[in-house]
Each structure stands twice: as C-alpha cells, then as structure tokens.
Structure 1
Amino acid sequence: MSYDVTAVRAHFPALDSSDTPAAAHFDGPGGSQSPVQVADAVAGVLRSSVANKGTVTAAERRATEIVDAARAAGADLVGGDPAGIVFGRSMTQLTYDFARTLAKAWGPGDEVVVTRLDHDANVRPWVQAATAAGASVRWASFDPATGVLTVDDVARVLSPRTRLVALTAASNLLGSRPDVASVAATAHDVGALVYVDGVHYTPHAFVDVAALGADFYACSPYKFLGPHLGMLAAAPALLEELRPDKLLPASDIVPERFEFGTLPYESLAGATAAIDFLADLVPATGTRRERLATSLEALEHHEQILVSQLDNGLAGLPSVERYGDPDRHRTPTTLFTVHGVPPAEVYRALADRGVNAPAGTFYAYECAKILGIEHEGAVRAGMAPYTTKSDVDRLLEGVAALGR
C-alpha cells in the first residue's frame, strides 16, 4: 500500500510552511504533532454542553458517549476489550497506580523483575512499590553493543517467586524491540504477570496485546498524534481481581474503579480522533481495527525507509557515533553523538537550522548508564507519520556541518 506523506502532512497545522520552511520534527518520541482532526475534536467538546457522566441530561449523555467511544477506539488500537481500557493523566501516573495496587499482594520473599532497557516510568514505580512491600527487585540487563534485551536476559533472573515482570516493547532511547511474546511466555511459566510499556512501540507498529502476552499494556496517546493522556489495556477479568485505593462513593465497576476523579472528556475525544486518523493514513476498507492494520503496515514501511536513510547517512560521517545496532529490527529511532561536540550543542545547532532533534537521556536512566551517556546524553532522532526524506536530508546536512 502506497504511503502519501504529502497528503498526511496536509492535516497538520504545525507543519504549515506557507511563510517559512516548517521545522523538521524528529522529536516525536517525546511527543508528536497533532492533526487538525484531533484539535477539532478537543475543541468540539470544550464548545459543547458537557457534564459528569450520566444518563439524565443531554450533557451527561454526551460525556458518557465520549468515554465509551474512547474505550472502543483504544481497544481497536491495541486489540483489547473496551471494558479493559483505563485512562489516566499519563502512562507514568497509571503505572504508579497499578504498582501500588499490585504491591498490596506482595511481601518478603516475593520478587519483581525490571529491566535496564526501560524508561524509568516502567522501572521506578515497581522498584519503589516492591521496596515498600518488602519484596525484592531483580534486574535484567541488555547488551550495550546491540541495545538488545533477550528472553535469556530476563529468564536468568526469574524464579518461582517472581510476581511481575515489567519490560518495554521498544526502548525509547535506542528503539530496540525485545521479543515481548517470548519473555511473557517465560514469565507466565513461573506464574508472573507481565506489564508492558508500549509508549514508544505503539506509534510505530500494529499492536496485538494478546499476541504479545501482555497482562497490562500501557501507552500514551500524545506519542501517536493525540492529546496528553495515558491509556492502559488489560483483561476485564484481571482488573476485577484488583482493588485500588479509591474514594468511597466512587464507582467500583471495571474499568472505572481505576480512574480517579472526572475524566478529561476533551482529551478522550482527541484520543479517539487520533486513532481514527491513524486508521485512515492510507485508503483502506473494513473495521477500524482492520484499517489500522493496513495503515500501520504502510506507516512502518515508510518510517523504516527513512530511518535507513538516516542510518546510512550518519554511517558516512566519521565524526558520528551511533548507539545500538542499526541492522537490528527496531522502531525508527536513532541515537547518536558527534565527536568533540556536546549533545546539547548539537541539539541547539540543529534547532538553528529548523531541525528539532533533542538531546538528553529521555528518562531512560538505567539504559543511559549502561551506554555510558548518563551525564551528557545523546541526540535522539525519531520518525513520525509526517516525516519526509527532505527532513532527513536537512538533519544529515546539519550533522555533517558540525562534524566539519
């Protein structure tokens, strides 16, 4: 299926280049730009009559419809059940909430496994919850030369006392993609639950939580063209077993028992619009889930062409050091430094050229330490649905100029 990036870009007001060249955005891993459909959906809710969920007034019914539509869209995106879609302020907040809830059943002798490849949002909540419960934390590391975390890396720290394994579906720093399905199967063999950070994976792949073996799958709509929000998918039956702390009068039904306070209806509408937009990136027919499969396959092909262009270009610059193995299957994300130029200066110099490729460690605290970049970080360039070959050319030209 052909991917028409020009047609896609036409929907993004931030990319309007009528006066000056638009910025080349490689900052999508930290937060993507949004199409006008998302902005309109958000504004539409704020302009409408809306109230707390209910069934009596039109405003209440509108709120209920917005929430139900967002749960259905989220389920279609990840292959889950609408009754198992939980929304929160962010993936970090949701993970802290679920860590505290799950830790109620942990105690001395229990073990939790985290990995050094993960963003800290899928590390620290589990470490802190385990410590508070008296449980032990075991660490799975990865090969810094390749950036790859293998199933064996995780298996060697599992035991019959493992209660949960937390791992990423794709490193937000390197883009490397662990074999989540194999890790999950191995974790399930010892009776552990699996919590998957899908924040960096979801914008670049067709997600199937059942195929991944994820008991919990968390992601962030603002990484896939939507508003700032967090989303978690789990089986409703599993959620029924968990008892989070909550206000006494608050709903105890699933999934609402995990959502504290009034939901941000405008953001939910924006998330639905973003998922609908992803489903229609290329002409396709069928259900929204089926159209998502077609569109995301085309997007993945488009983004892999671009990241190959970037990798090949950087490989020809002797002043550049890349991290991880560019030949490994990964998300379209490249991490690099320029010899003799601090990453923060590379970031600023590229920004002066209208190229947004930020530098840092991006909350991948443990990963950065393994790579030896915990102090200055590195430059991260990530592709998005609106990235073009000319964007990549501009990035390469800017890096080449620094190297000279």
Structure 2
Amino acid sequence: MSYDVTGIRAQFPALAAGIAHFDGPGGTQTPQPVIQAVSDALAHPLSNRGHEVVGEANAEAIVVESRRAMADLLAADPAGIVFGRSATQLTYDFSRTLAKGWAAGDEVVVTRLDHDSNIRPWIQAAQRAGATVRWAEFDPATGELTADDIRAVLSERTRLVAVTAASNLIGTRPPIAEISRSVHETGALLYVDGVHHAAHSLVDVDRLGADFYTCSPYKFLGPHHGVLAARPELLESLHPDKLLPSTDTVPERFELGTLPYEFLAGTRAAVDFLAGLDGAATGTRRERLAAAAAALEGHEDALRTRIDKGLSELEGITIHSRAADRTPTLLLTFEGRDATVAYRFLAARGVHAPAGSFYALEASRHLGLGDTGGLRMGLAPYNDAADVDRLLEGLADFLRS
C-alpha cells in the first residue's frame, strides 16, 4: 500500500492558493487530469450521440466510458447508471415516478439524519399520492441511526425507505446492509443517498442492498452533476414522464435532454484518478479502486486521529460527530460563541471550514442546533498533516481571542 500525499497534492492547481481546505463535504477541489479531460472533450469535435461523424462518435464514447467508470466505482451494472444534473434532481425525478404507484394508506419512511434532498422529495411525493410519511429518529447523544430505528417504523404498507449511507453533517454511517434486509422483508424499496458516502467508502450497491443509490462526482474530485445506480431490470419497470421523440431505452429513459458530455468525461477521469491513489496498486480498475479506498481510509484515519487529539486539548467546544462508524467529518459548536464567527476567523487565516446546517436541516434541529448547525470540518484526499495543524492552531487562536 502506497499513499503519496505530496505527489497527490501536486496535481491540484487550486492548492497553489495556499488554502487549507476542510470543505470537502460540500465539494472537493479538482485535480489536473479531470480539468484536462473536460477541456479535451470541449476541444475536440462534439455533437449529439451517434456513429456517423467524429463529433457523434466522441459523444457516444464519452457516455459509454463514463458509465463503465461509474459502474466500476459503485460495483454496479453500466446499464443501470443514470446521469442527471444533480443528486437532488435525480431524487425528485424518481420520487415522482415511484409515487405513481402509491395510494392512500401506503407509507414512506424518511430519517432525521438525512440531507433534505433525501427527505423533502419523498414527503412532497407522498402528500400528492395521499400516502403517509413515517420518521425514523437517530440518537442525538451518539449520532447513531440503527437498523432497529428503521424497523420501528416499518409496516406491511411501507413502499419505500429513504436513508443516507453517510451523514453529510456529522459523518454517521448507518448499517445500510442490515437496514436493507429489514426493508426488503416488508417488500419495500430502499433509496440510499450516497453523496457523502461515496467519497469515503468502497461502494458495492449489491452488498449494500440498495435498490437506488445516488452520488455526486464533485464530492470525489469530479465535475458538478449527479449519478444514480440501480438494477437495469428495476429501471425497466419504471416509466417517467418524458418527451415522445426521446429514447425509451434504459438507462437513457431517465436522462432528460442532452447529457453534459464534458462533465461525463471529467467524471471518468476522476474515477481513474481515484484508482491511482494507491501508487502501488495493479489489476482491473475496480481492483485498483479497492486498493485506493483502503489507502485513502488509512490516510484519512491518521489525520482524523490527529484532529481528535488536538480537539481534546481545547476547551469550550462540543463535538457532535460521535458515531462509532463515521466518515472523517466533524461538526463543532462553541460555548457561548457563534460557529459562523469561527468560520470567518479561520477563513481570514487561509483555513476553509464552513459553518451551517448544510441542508441537513432535520439533523441539525434534532441535535438541538436549530437551523444554524455548527462548524463542519471534512477531510479529502489532498489534506495533509500541515493542513490539520493549521486548523488546530486556528481553532486554538479563536478560542483564545
């Protein structure tokens, strides 16, 4: 296993600005190979997909290669990879499509832990169908959302459960595979928000038991758009509203309008970049991704331990990220002081750790933080020990100020 963080950092032009980035949960910086892939796609002939002229062939190749790359990243079938403008847009689209089969008396489960993009679309779709919404609660003292918490709100009328694979606010990773077994025993579908999860975990959608899994490449070094993975046969059973001349073939059936080819090219490049994070890894792209995920986890765990140790020496802070299994993402609040003031204090010193609830509104409220949340710090592949030391020194200075 080999993780050369210095070599990795050298491939991120944005780091030349000298900022210590802890804003990865909101979107990562972009490595040069991804920037180059986007540029190359736009610099060469590009047309609507086809096979007759070079522009058509280039577009077709980009889409095919990007589906294969995302399938390797998620251990999914390329024929089940759907591209969209964002994970939020995809969830809204699928909520409207799935709700066509719901009726009064049916039930939909959402959780307090989730980002609002995996809550509000389901609530609104359920309201239109006359279905009932049931809430799964998490323990604010520990940050844990367990399979028992989900089972407590399941019934024979449950049609869908929407749950995050990792909280973008406090990092909690619920036991999705165990939750999946309980959900499927009721005959319901499981819709998993993997936007924060995919950036810090080796994903296997079948092992997770997710019927639908969404993620966003810009959270793992790629461009801004969304991706959904599902079994092709499940997609075949769904019929979204679409234009009459557009293809009815899966997965294109769910991709409304022309795809952003340059962003898809960047996404393929991002997956290839991730596969190279372990410089010693060989084998297929999926095998290299597995090795890279292990190397990245080791790197991030070491940095998180450094952060935890440093925070333990500071007074006047509360850490709300407490789950036993969580991503390297921490939410802090300060005794008698506004987290936004801490955010601005750090920003003035070239350390970016933003404050807010980050659209995890229900989670923030459930933690007793209202709509304001706290200061969030998240690690990304390019963070190093010097970044962590700057963060800890900045927090110490803030608490003394």
What TM-score, normalized by structure 2, do the two folds share? 0.98
Deviations 1:350-380 (A, max 9, x none): 0011000000000001100001112332000
TM superposition shift of 1:332: 0.4
The alpha-carbon deviation at position 313 of structure 1 amounts to 1.0
1:323 to 320, 344, 347: 320
Distance 2:85 2:372 in 1: 29
Which residue does 1:380 correspond to in 2? Answer: 376
Q: Secondary structure at 1:204's aligned position in 2?
A: coil
- 1:163-242 equivalences under 5 Å are 163-242=159-238
Which residue of 2 is the match for residue 313 of structure 1? 310
Partner Cα distance (1:189, 1:274) in 2: 37
Return closer, same or farther for 1:375/1:238 CA change in 2, 3 Å cut-off.
Answer: closer
1:216-275 CA-partner distances (Å, limit 9, x unpaired): 000000000000010000000000000000000000000000000000000000000000
TM-score normalised over the length of structure 1: 0.98
* Paired-residue identity, %: 61
Letter in 1 for 2:366: I
Structure 1 residue runs of 4 or more that deviate by more than 4 Å after TM superposition:
none
- Report the Cα distance in structure 2 between the residues aligned to 1:207 and 1:63, rounded to whole angstroms: 27
2-side partners of 1:292 and 1:54: how far apart?
A: 31
Q: Does 1:69 align with 2:65?
A: yes
Give the unaligned 5+ runs of structure 2: none
CA distance in 2, matches of 1:176, 1:308: 16
SS in 2 for 1:202: coil
What code does the residue aligned with 2:310 have? G
Structure 1 spans left out of the alignment, 5+ residues? none
For 1:3-402, list aligned pairs within 5 A: 3-16=3-16, 22-283=18-279, 284-325=281-322, 328-402=324-398
Instruction: State the distance in 2 between where 1:155 and 1:312 align.
Output: 36
3-state DSSP of counterpart to 1:83: helix
Shift of residue 329, structure 1, vs aligned partner:
1.8
Between the two proteins, the alignment pairs up a number of residues equal to 399
Give the letter aligned to residue 108 of structure 1.
Answer: A
Q: Deviations over 1:254-300 (max 9, x none)?
A: 00000000000000000000000000011211100000000011001
Indicate if the aligned counterparts of 2:361 and 2:371 stay in contact, CA closer than 8 A.
no
Per the TM alignment, residue 390 of structure 1 is displaced from its structure 2 partner at its CA by: 1.0
Partner AA of 1:237 in structure 2 = E
Counterpart-to-counterpart distance in 2, 1:375 and 1:206: 32
* Residue type at the aligned position of 2:4: D
Distance 1:347 1:382 in 2: 13
Give the residue type in structure 1 aligned to 2:37.
A
Distance 2:321 2:34 in 1: 34
The letter of the residue matching 1:273 is A
Asked whether the 8 Å contact 2:79–2:232 carries over to 1, the reply is yes
Q: Tell me which amino acid in the other structure corresponds to 2:164.
A: T
1:16 CA drift (Å): 2.0
SS at match of 1:305: helix
SS class of match (2:199) = helix
CA RMSD of aligned residues (A): 0.8
